[in-house]
Amino acid sequence: MPRTAETASFKFNHTMLRVKDPKVSLAFYQDIIGMELLSEKKFADFTLYFLAFNHDGRELTPEEKEATRFAREGILELTHNHGTESDPNFQGYASGNSDPGRGFGHIAITVDDVEVACERFEKLGVQFKKRPSDGKMRHIAFILDPDGYWIEVVPNVLKL
């Protein structure tokens, strides 16, 4: 159904997750998942990190990175509340997949080859919730990010 004029400009821009330690999470989402850091906004008590996959096939200028932050879909925003990374009493964040706190489920990345992607994740020490060989759904996997959030790994094969 074509959209009404009232919602014609709307985009699903980003998903926000809180993270304990931005050094660990940025290394994970950049080096292992392959996203690019577009923007970093530091406030008194927290810092926001905006990441996305670069589909342009070229390096973006700092201005383009900043501009693209609200101009596209598929952005991941990580919120770091300062101090959690070194607070011995910090209990960690809920993944959303067990009580109490059930609600949010996961983010998902599509890949050309789930098996190949997962072999690489395994070599890089990524934790698995479900390997492709586990359970009934052999064509998908679930990995865990450093805070325990689930990331589904799905094939992007359904193309016309």
List binders of a second copy among 125-154 (CB under 8 A): 147, 149, 152, 154
Residue ranges in 25-84 that form contacts with a second copy under rule CB under 8 A: 33-36, 52-55, 57-59, 63-64, 66-67, 69-77, 79
What letter would DSSP give residue 69? Answer: T
Residue with tokens 């070229």: 58
CB-based burial label for 104 (10 Å; 0-12, 13-18, 19+):
middle
Rounded Cα distance between 153 and 147, Å, is 17
Q: Does 103 bind a second copy (CB under 8 A)?
A: yes
Instruction: Report, in Å, the least distance between residue 106 CB and a second copy.
Output: 5
Could you confirm whether 115 is annotated as catalytic? no
CB of 24 to a second copy, least distance (A): 15
Single out the residue of 66, 47, 65 nearest to residue 56, CA to CA. 65
Q: CB of residue 54 vs a second copy: minimum separation in angstroms?
A: 6
Report the relative pairing of strands 141-144 and 127-130 from DSSP bridges.
Answer: antiparallel
102 sits near a second copy (criterion: CB under 8 A) = yes
Which residues are documented as binding site for Zn(2+)? 77, 106, 152
Which residues are documented as binding site? 77, 106, 152
